[in-house]
Structure 1
Amino acid sequence: MKEETRVAGPWEFGKIPLSRNSKTDWALVKQAAKAGDYDKIPDNILVTHYSNIQKLYKDNCKVTSSSTVRGIYIHGDAGIGKSYLARSLFPGEPVYSKNPNKYFDGYQNETVIIWDDLDLMHPSMFTYYFKIWTDRYGVRGEIKGSTIPLNHKYFIFTSQYSFEEMFTDLKTREAMGRRCFIYEMAHYKDINLRTQFVIPDMIDQFNRDTPPEIEKFIVRDRSALIEATARL
């Protein structure tokens, strides 16, 4: 019986190609584009219509707020490992390395944004942006000719300058202090294991608990730090 009803080959296995004349197929492309799920879009469609697909995503993607402030400010001497620490705090979270400007070209929903080597000239140009990027509220970032939603959990600054040196204006410093956890990086415990000592730079006046990912790097007893570094 099976031999009588079997359809003769040849056979072709795989996904059915998208039909350009099918409204249903184009609806699926639109749905995937709005969700940013580019893997579900056929390669030939993605390449041919990439700009329009990106625009669909940008126009429909929603910004998200955070349950707490997002800023982390890590300062310490040059070469001590601040950049390494910034990338070690949240294992598994995708990282976007921010160029020292207001644009987010190439940002793809990374949950950790890092601005390395914050310099004294930067606050005068970017204070407004620093405030909105580190606050808990949803925000869009600028790209050339458009904006995109920033869905980061953390915005980390590293700098050779202390928080007071960086933000000399009192009101600005207070505003940024409300949005950032501030830490001084003191020393490696073991340069091979890359385990760091980090010292809180100031008592948190807003009674915020230190994120557990940071807490594990902290030695709160300065005498313990002195004893440990003396053994290096």
Structure 2
Amino acid sequence: IDGVRKVADLFRERGERIDWCVTGEPSSKRLLGDLLRVGRRGSLSATLTVRGIQGHVAYPEKARNPIHEALPALAALTARRWDDGYESFPPTRLQVSNILAGTGANNVIPGELQVLFNLRYNPNWTAPQLEDECESILRAHCSDLAIHWHRSGEPFYTPEGPLRAAAREVLQAFAGESPEESTGGGTSDARFIAPLGAHCVEIGPVNASIHKVDEHVAVADLERLPDLYFALMVRLLA
């Protein structure tokens, strides 16, 4: 409803352009400034429902087990080699994040199974192509299914230019080493800004604990970030 997506829509309506964007997404690996994110893969999420026929486990001929139908399909999806990467992008990958089925009883074949999975994809693919490919694999194994897709971001890449050059110089001064330049990782708010024509980079705290139970960033990193961003602005606008 709000946030960067709303701001990007407003800029688009006004015809306003952003030249450079720096996103504070946690992206460093070992120490602040050792990685410069210069692009991101796209993100495509699916909610899959496989419908069966509920019944007693002692009478499988009177039921249809959606778990048994879904497992070979999921195995095929997760084993598939989608590509070998694209220029500066890592390979496209699929990960299953949630599986839900069953009544809690050990003698009941469930009537339905739900699976959540996500693809992080490079420019070898478009979202519609991936949707078609996944659905083809799923329908080869599952007799009754429904799938809902959510496209949360397309791939983007920032080519060489003043922003990348300035960021490299500033990060080397802060980290004491040349930063790795990467398009890996998840998504960020830069996915809303890049389509406006902006060159985007991401510079932020160490993300070693990202989405773990004890997810955290170092206070010391947060205290140094304003100086890092200010140095980058000075370098760009000098």
TM-score, normalising length: structure 1: 0.24
Between structures 1 and 2, the one with greater strand share: 2
TM-score, normalising length: structure 2: 0.23
| Bigger radius of gyration among the two | 1
Give the number of the structure with larger relative contact order, counting CA–CA contacts within 8 Å between residues 6 or more apart: 2
